[in-house]
Amino acid sequence: MGVDYYGVLQIPRTSTELEIKKAYRNLALEFNCERCKIPKAYQVFALIGEAYEVLSKPLLRAVFDQYGEEGLKRGVPGPDGYIAGYHYHGDPMQTYKDFFGTTSPYADLLDVLKNPPQLCKTTDGIQVCKKQPPIRHPLQLTLHEVFFGGVKKMKIHRLVFVNEERNKTDIREKILTITVKPGVRAGTEIVFANEGDQNPAHIPADVIFITEDRPHELFVRQDDNLILTTTISLEQALVGTMVTVHTIDHRTIRVPITDVVSPTYEKTVENEGLPILDKYPLKGDLILRFDIVFPVYLTRTSKDLIKNAFAVSQVGKDSHEAINKLVLADKILRVEREQQLPPI
């Protein structure tokens, strides 16, 4: 014999929808598995949730009343076709949340008692105040401000109450002080609660400043890193160079470039980027990228010299003997003619 859902909720079969809800509410609060510590509380809590779900839905209740639990879960023929079998989703806490609108109704009730809602006078009488939608402003920051942090002053104009009855307003100016932390990311919201227009029928809106990075003449920001693109000649890209960087914090650093610079080459200088907000005073990296300027014209002699210079790069990486021969030949050519040994 199957489970009697009416017996689970301890109600008669003639119970109304309201009586079913009352029964579930009392039992669910008593056997909530997060609060009840008796053995097998979860199984009881789940069975209560299943019983409520079946009896609170007219079609499922009608099938159960006629065919019992076995027919309900097996499936039965109906006037408009076959009625598929019912299966409980197995999450009683979800049923609980759908019923109460929260997993902790008592906690919400206590919160209301400790922090009662604000009441406002409206044309329809005294009602719970509704908060006005937030007012958003962009806050542009230079990379210098992001690097060092600091304080910014922002002027706003808003309506404020000018009498004790709080029913008359006038425009007033107010200065808001914004603390900028070193390394603050773009898109950060800085909220000033209830600094919007005052109104007898509403709670003032929050004023929110959203940070934006102002373009810099040299650097581009990438999270906590700084990217600097510098221009070098083809000669410097091939034989090396020294890049001088004037940092945001007014220092001068010199970065030696000893690798062959290709169009996709990047040189990373650690700890020379922007401060990392959550790990201050650690900083990101400075990433150097390069624009290579090619010569407009080369003489035939210059081209021949370049061909000879590239001869070594055409030798396989494992051809040590061939490379040694080229190096030796180069040294011989550097010796003055009068110092060369006579041919044997």
pLDDT tens-digit map of 177-234: 999 999 999 999 999 998 999 888 788 899 999 999 999 999 999 999 999 999 999 9
| Pairwise CA distance, residues 294 & 156, whole Å | 53
| Pairwise CA distance, residues 147 & 149, whole Å | 6
Give 38's contacts (C-beta < 8 A, 6+ positions apart): 31
**How large is the greatest C-alpha to C-alpha distance in the chain, in angstroms?**
125
Mean local confidence (pLDDT), 76-101 = 83
Here the tokens at position 19 are: 């009586």
Mean local confidence (pLDDT), 230-255 = 94
Q: What's the confidence (pLDDT) of residue 121?
A: 62
Higher model confidence: residue 128 or residue 211? 211
Amino acid at residue number 47:
L
Mean pLDDT of the chain: 84
Q: What's the confidence (pLDDT) of residue 107?
A: 55
| Pairwise CA distance, residues 70 & 32, whole Å | 27
Provide the b/e sequence for 41-74 (b: ≥16 CB within 10 Å): beebbbbbbbbbbbbeeeebbebbeebbbebbbe
| Pairwise CA distance, residues 343 & 124, whole Å | 117
Closest-CA residue to 232 (of 258, 261, 253): 261
In the numeric block, the tokens 């079969």 are attached to 13
Task: Find the length of the chain.
Answer: 344
CB 252 within 8 A of CB 246: yes
Higher model confidence: residue 21 or residue 202? 21
pLDDT bin (cut points 50, 70, 90) of residue 253 is very high
Q: Could you report the per-residue pLDDT of 309-334, keeping only the tens digit for each?
A: 777 666 555 556 666 666 666 666 66
3-state secondary structure of 324: helix
| Pairwise CA distance, residues 13 & 61, whole Å | 10
